[in-house]
Amino acid sequence: AQSVTQLDSHVSVSEGTPVLLRCNYSSSYSPSLFWYVQHPNKGLQLLLKYTSAATLVKGINGFEAEFKKSETSFHLTKPSAHMSDAAEYFCVVSDRDYGGATNKLIFGTGTLLAVQP
Amino acid sequence: GAGVSQSPSNKVTEKGKDVELRCDPISGHTALYWYRQSLGQGLEFLIYFQGNSAPDKSGLPSDRFSAERTGGSVSTLTIQRTQQEDSAVYLCASSLGTGGGGYTFGSGTRLTVV
């Protein structure tokens, strides 16, 4: 069964320093992987997605993630944190079935990112 | 519409009452999901509709929960005899068939059972 593990429930960084949010996945077939962000009292917003094209995926707001099959990882990074990046981040996996259609999304438990001035 | 619309945005109900939560997906999106986000917890999958296929109900926590999708568009999540542990934000998302382009989430319905 597919699953996703976010290794850190809380991450705190200083403004201007790099961000690393870790995610490992387990999937039977070729997965689609996503990162979503949820700001306080706001809806979920798609940051970026991997769907078997380039392994380094660039998303919005300067975030990117690299799909590493050998490590079953899809870590989210950003070179320089901004105060507005403070939010909760969810790593999500979605398997494809034999027919190629994507099945349900499986969410990680989330990582709360705090950005200190 | 331009996005996924959920109503109501907030619902307070008394324990034991039934509630209905509505989701209007993006026009043309064939896949529709319901998730539940409880305080301090991640998103819990509830049910998944894909086109005319039988829905995947494997995430529904009890037989008090049901959902339907009429005409392949609007979906209603019904919770019967609500309990305090049902208090959560209920999120709906939709996508094109395979979802490769990502899923668009609504703003959710915050349900409080008192």
- pLDDT, residue A27, reads 79
* Cβ contacts of A49 on chain B, cutoff 8 Å: 100-102
Burial of B80 from C-beta contacts in 10 A (0-12 / 13-18 / 19+): middle
| Distance from C-alpha of A46 to C-alpha of A48, rounded to nearest angstrom | 6
Would the pLDDT of B87 be above 90?
yes
% of chain A surpassing 70 pLDDT: 91
Among A40-44, B11-15, B21-25, the least confident range: A40-44
Which three-class secondary structure state does DSSP give residue B83? coil
Closest residue in B to A44 (Cα–Cα): B105
**pLDDT for A97 beyond 90:** no
DSSP 8-state secondary structure symbol assigned to residue B28? T
Q: Which tokens belong to B52?
A: 């005319």
Q: How far does A116 lie from chain B, in Å, by closest CA?
A: 22
Q: What is the Rg, in whole angstroms, of the alpha carbon atoms belonging to chain A?
A: 14
Mean pLDDT of B62-84: 94
B42 with A43: Cβ contact below 8 A: no
For A55-68, what is the mean pLDDT? 94
Distance CA B110, CA B114 (A): 13
> Which tokens go with A63?
């975030």
Q: B101 at the A interface (CB within 8 A)?
A: yes
Restricting to B residues 10-39, those with a Cβ less than 8 Å away from any Cβ of A are 31, 33, 35
In DSSP terms, A37 is beta-bridged to A45, A89
Highest mean pLDDT among A101-110, B73-82, B87-96: B73-82
Mean pLDDT of chain A, nearest integer: 89
Residue B81 or residue A95, greater confidence:
B81
Res. A111 pLDDT band, cuts 50 70 90: very high
Structural tokens at position A100:
């190629």
User: With 70 as the cut, is the pLDDT of residue A38 above it?
Assistant: yes
Number of H helices, E strands in chain B: 0, 10
Of B33, B97, B108, the CB nearest to A43: B108
- What the block records as the tokens of A51 is 């769907």
CB–CB of A32 and B100 under 8 A? Answer: yes
Mean pLDDT across chain B:
90
For the cut 70, the answer to whether the pLDDT of residue B1 exceeds it is: no
- Residue A29 vs residue A16, higher pLDDT: A16
% pLDDT > 70, chain B: 93
What is the C-alpha to C-alpha distance for residues A109 and B68, in angstroms, rounded to an integer? 27
A34 → closest Cβ in B91, B102, B108: B102
Q: Which residues in chain B are closer than 8 Å to A40, comparing Cβ atoms?
A: none
